[in-house]
Amino acid sequence: MVEPYAVTALSPRTFTAKEKGDALENVKRINKFMDTAVMVAAWEGAPVRLVAIPEMAIQGMIPNTPGNREREKHFAVTIPGPETDELGKKARQLDVFIAAELYMVKDPDFEDRYFNVAFVIDPQGEIVYKRYKATSDAYEGGMLGNMNPHDVWDEFIAKKGGGDVMEAIFPVARTEIGNIGIAICHEGVYPEIGRGLAMNGAEILIRPTLIEPAVMKGFWELQNRAHAVFNQMYVVAPNLGPEVMDDGGMQDLFGGRSMIVEPSGHIVAQQTGWTSGDSFVCTTIDIEALRRRRIANGLYNQFKDLRTEQYRAIYDKPIYPKNQYLDAPPTEGWLAREDATRARNIDLLVERGVFVRPESGSGEREPITSTAEKSGDKA
């Protein structure tokens, strides 16, 4: 039986790594704040068993020229590595599970490719879960230099899932505090990621980080609540705090508003308003109550009603090309290629009758490449 326990979602200030060792220093800084957050979360009256850290909290948002193999290699880390070792020490000290992420990660199975990887460390300090970010926007791959499993699809499914797509793309950590899945940042924009993890048994969805303007427009809250109610799961959603700049000033690209959502879609803890410091949210969750709810033969337990054959047909025709970096790693100019790929995908959807072009104007927007160039970034 899983007794009720407290969960805390951290929103630490962001310090972008300038050198490789900076990521480890960021972990140490986060760990100090974690002590305070866990102490206060225990005031709920239940033991704290789970701490969630946002995407990019450890490495920051490293400026990069994608395809520059030397620079990517310089910043790339490993799992396990010094950063996860330091988090493991804190997990043992506090007797908690820690969920976090590193976005420039080397993988022994894919030379010269880097992935965005979420992980869970158990109270013994052991890594018990890794999940590779499977869906991202063009800007992420094009500016940060990491890719998706879909870009090396055939080999990824074989090597990471033994041929099983669900285990390779939607793995779930089955732990003593419940079954945990992580949907990283932009993945939460898509209903399929949360549903895939839920269909593999996830009871807690950790959804770390979303960038502006999605937060100010309400997308962040809407998506987190929708994942909770559609999948009958808890959603623990830590977002980044403001980024500390070299001159001591701050900029807030992510909007904060960390939250925890219960399975009916109600927000039970939320950070509101802007803060210039580290912050967190916490609440107590009840996995046994969730499990009773899921096996009840009631109207809002949708899983028992899924007529899977009719839904499968929705995705029979592929849209985004797979295996685009299977034979060779990406080179410079990645962002422009991503722009072109997505433009072709829109044309394809028009041809299929999914989209209809407007009669007035093309409906096209300026490519992300142009925006990046104007802002001084290189693609």
Domains plus CATH for the chain?
5-311 (3.60.110.10), 333-374 (no CATH)
Nearest to 336 by CA among 120, 66, 32: 66
Give the bridge partners for 18, in sequence order.
Answer: none
Q: Please give the chain's pLDDT, 379 residues, in tens.
A: 999 999 999 999 999 888 889 999 999 999 999 999 999 999 989 999 999 999 999 998 877 666 677 778 888 899 999 999 999 999 999 999 999 999 889 999 998 888 999 999 999 999 999 999 998 876 676 666 678 999 999 999 999 999 999 999 999 999 999 999 999 999 999 999 999 999 999 999 999 999 999 999 999 999 999 999 999 999 999 999 999 988 989 999 888 999 999 999 999 999 987 788 899 999 999 999 999 999 999 888 889 999 999 999 999 999 999 998 899 888 888 888 888 888 999 999 999 999 999 987 655 655 544 544 444 443 3
Counting every residue written for the chain, the total comes to 379
Residues 362, 169 contacting (CB under 8 angstroms)? no
Bridge pairing between strands 279-285 and 5-11: antiparallel
Place of tokens 């709920």: 44
Query: What are the helix (H) ranges across 77-131?
Result: 82-94
State the pLDDT at residue 379: 32
* Beta carbons within 10 angstroms of residue 126's beta carbon: 13
Gap between the Cα atoms of 136 and 133, Å rounded: 7
Cβ 51 vs Cβ 28: under 8 Å? no
Measured distance CA(150)–CA(156) in Å, rounded: 8
Spell out the residues 6+ positions from residue 46 whose beta carbon is closer than 8 angstroms to its own: 3, 4, 5, 6, 284
Displacement of CA 131 from its chain's centroid (Å)? 9
Q: Which pLDDT value is given to residue 368?
A: 47
Q: How far is CA 245 from CA 16, 251, 263, 280, in A?
A: 8, 7, 38, 21
Q: Is 278 helix (H, G, I), strand (E, B) or coil?
A: coil
Q: What is the pLDDT of residue 141?
A: 66
| CA atoms of 52 and 158, how far apart (whole Å) | 30
- What is the reported pTM? 0.93
Supply 129's token pair.
Answer: 């879960």
The DSSP 8-state label assigned to residue 147 in this structure reads B
